[in-house]
C-alpha cells in the first residue's frame, strides 16, 4: 500500500497518536521516490564473508565480526546469527565468549539473539562440509557433554543437531527450556524421529533438502515435517532454504514453498568467500574452492556453504516460485523473526516495532538500509 512511514526514537510510530494526542508533525521528511519499504532482512545462518570465517579462532575475531556486520548492510541484512560449523571444543571456547548480543547501527547489522552452532552433534553420513574428526555423539552426560563442548550457552540462539543421535531427546528438551532454538539437520533421521524431536521442542530445519535423507514416498524423512500431522497444536516448524540457484533446484524450492509457505526462512549459509574473488578460502577446519557460485570442499564436489547474499536469495526465490513480492520479503524478515521469537520488535513494519527497514527498487535491489530509524547504508547513485 502507498503511505507514509513514521519513525521516532528508533521505533515505527502510529501517526494517529502523534496527530490527535500530541498535535505534532514530522521534523524531517524524506521523499522515497516510490521505493518499496520493507523490514530489514534477518540471516540466521551465515558462516562468515568478505574473508572472515566465524569458525576460526583468531586474535582479531571481533574485528572480523565487525567487518561482516558492516558489509552485509548493503545487502539489506539488519540482524544476523553468526554461525559456527562443526569445530573442536577449543574453537567454541575461544570464539563464543567473543560473540556479544548487540543492537545494529551505523557500525553494522545487529547480533540480535546470539550464535547458531551447526554441529558437532550431527551424522557422519550427512556431514556435508563438516570435518568428520570433529563430529561428536552424546555420551553418558548428554546435555553435560554439550555444555563441555561449547563451554557456554550464554550467547547461543540456535543449535543444529541430528535427532537420531542417542539421547538427543533430553538435549533438545534442555536447550528448549533455556530458550535456545533447536534445528534438525546434517541427519539421516526418519520422519518419526524428526516428529519426536519436534514434540520435544525442535522448531527449525537447517537448509532443507541439503545434508539429509532425500524425500522418499514411504518415509519422507525430515522433509516430511512440512506436512506432518503430528506437530503439537499451536507450534509451527520453520525451515531454512539456501535460495542461491545452486543448493536447491527451483522445482524443489517451489515444492517446499507450496507445501508450507508460512515456515520458509531464507538463509544465505554464506562462507568467508562471499564477496571475494573465486579461489581458495576456508570454512572452519576445511579448505574450500569457489568456482562461480559453486563452493566445494577443495578437491571434491561436496557443496560447502554459499557465496550468495541475502538480497540475491530473495530475488531468486521470487523468480523461482512466482510468489508475491510481499511473500518473498517476509521469508527473509518476518519468518526468521518469528522463528527467533522476536516478531514483536523485528521483521515487520508494525507500530512500535524497531525501525529497521530497507528501501528497495521494484526489482528488489537494496537502495538504502536503516536501523533504528537511522540511515546506515545508501546506494550512492540514488540522487535522493
Catalytic positions are 269
| CB proximity list for 294: less than 8 A, separation 6 or greater | 246, 303
Q: What residue spans of 72-205 are helical by DSSP H?
A: 89-95, 143-150, 168-177, 191-199
Query: Alpha-carbon distance 318 to 107, whole Å?
Result: 30
Query: Alpha-carbon distance 372 to 180, whole Å?
Result: 25
Query: Alpha-carbon distance 97 to 357, whole Å?
Result: 29
- Using an 8 Å Cβ cutoff, are 163 and 193 in contact? yes
Instruction: Pick left, alpha or beta for residue 227 (phi over 0 → left; psi -120 to 50 → alpha; otherwise beta).
Output: alpha
Query: Alpha-carbon distance 183 to 163, whole Å?
Result: 9
Length of the chain in residues, anyone? 384
| CB proximity list for 307: less than 8 A, separation 6 or greater | 244, 270, 271, 273, 274, 275, 276, 290, 293, 295
Binding residues for Zn(2+): 118, 186, 207
The residue to which cell 500431522 is assigned: 229
- Using an 8 Å Cβ cutoff, are 359 and 32 in contact? yes
The residue to which cell 557433554 is assigned: 145
Residue 151: all three cell numbers together: 563451554
Give the residue from 112, 180, 115, 114 showing the smallest Cα distance to 143.
180
Give the residue from 383, 358, 361 showing the smallest Cα distance to 75.
358
Query: Alpha-carbon distance 43 to 337, whole Å?
Result: 10
Residue 79: all three cell numbers together: 540482524
For residue 357, CA distances in Å to 267, 369, 370 come to: 18, 6, 5
Amino acid at each position: 500500500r502507498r503511505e507514509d512511514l513514521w519513525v521516532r526514537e528508533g521505533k515505527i510510530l502510529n501517526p494517529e497518536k502523534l496527530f490527535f494526542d500530541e498535535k505534532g508533525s514530522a521534523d524531517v521528511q524524506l521523499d522515497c521516490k516510490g521505493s518499496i519499504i520493507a523490514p530489514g532482512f534477518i540471516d540466521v545462518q551465515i558462516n562468515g564473508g568478505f574473508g572472515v570465517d566465524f569458525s576460526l579462532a583468531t586474535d582479531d575475531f571481533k574485528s572480523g565480526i565487525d567487518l561482516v556486520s558492516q558489509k552485509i548492510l548493503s545487502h539489506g541484512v539488519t540482524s544476523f546469527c553468526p554461525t559456527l560449523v562443526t569445530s573442536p571444543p577449543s574453537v567454541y571456547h575461544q570464539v563464543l565468549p567473543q560473540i556479544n548480543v548487540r543492537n545494529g547501527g551505523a557500525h553494522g547489522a545487529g547480533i540480535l539473539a546470539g550464535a547458531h552452532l551447526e554441529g558437532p552433534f550431527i551424522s557422519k553420513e550427512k556431514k556435508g562440509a563438516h570435518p568428520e574428526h570433529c563430529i561428536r555423539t552424546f555420551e553418558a552426560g548428554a546435555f553435560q557433554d554439550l555444555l563441555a563442548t561449547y563451554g557456554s550457552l550464554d550467547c547461543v540462539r540456535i543449535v543444529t543437531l541430528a535427532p537420531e543421535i542417542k539421547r538427543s531427546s533430553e538435549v533438545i528438551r534442555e536447550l528448549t527450556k533455556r530458550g535456545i532454538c533447536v534445528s534438525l539437520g546434517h541427519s539421516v533421521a526418519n520422519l518419526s524421529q524428526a516428529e519426536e524431536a519436534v514434540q520435544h521442542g525442535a522448531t527449525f530445519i537447517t537448509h532443507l533438502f541439503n545434508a539429509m535423507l532425500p524425500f522418499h514416498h514411504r518415509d519422507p524423512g525430515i522433509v516430511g515435517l512440512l506436512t506432518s500431522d503430528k506437530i503439537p497444536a499451536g507450534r509451527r516448524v520453520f525451515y531454512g532454504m539456501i535460495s542461491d540457484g545452486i543448493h536447491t533446484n527451483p522445482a524443489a524450492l517451489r515444492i517446499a514453498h507450496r507445501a508450507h509457505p508460512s515456515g520458509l526462512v531464507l538463509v544465505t549459509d554464506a562462507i568467508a568467500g562471499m564477496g571475494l574473488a573465486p579461489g581458495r578460502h576456508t570454512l572452519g577446519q576445511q579448505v574450500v574452492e569457489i568456482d562461480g557460485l559453486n563452493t566445494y570442499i577443495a578437491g571434491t564436489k561436496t557443496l560447502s556453504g554459499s557465496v550468495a547474499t541475502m538480497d540475491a536469495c530473495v530475488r531468486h526465490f521470487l523468480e523461482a516460485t512466482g510468489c508475491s513480492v510481499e511473500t518473498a520479503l517476509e521469508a527473509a524478515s518476518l519468518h526468521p523473526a518469528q522463528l527467533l521469537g522476536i516478531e514483536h520488535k523485528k521483521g515487520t513494519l508494525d507500530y512500535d516495532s524497531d525501525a529497521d527497514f530497507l528501501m528497495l527498487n521494484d526489482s528488489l535491489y537494496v537502495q538504502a538500509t536503516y536501523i533504528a530509524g537511522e540511515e546506515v547504508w545508501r546506494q550512492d547513485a540514488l540522487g535522493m
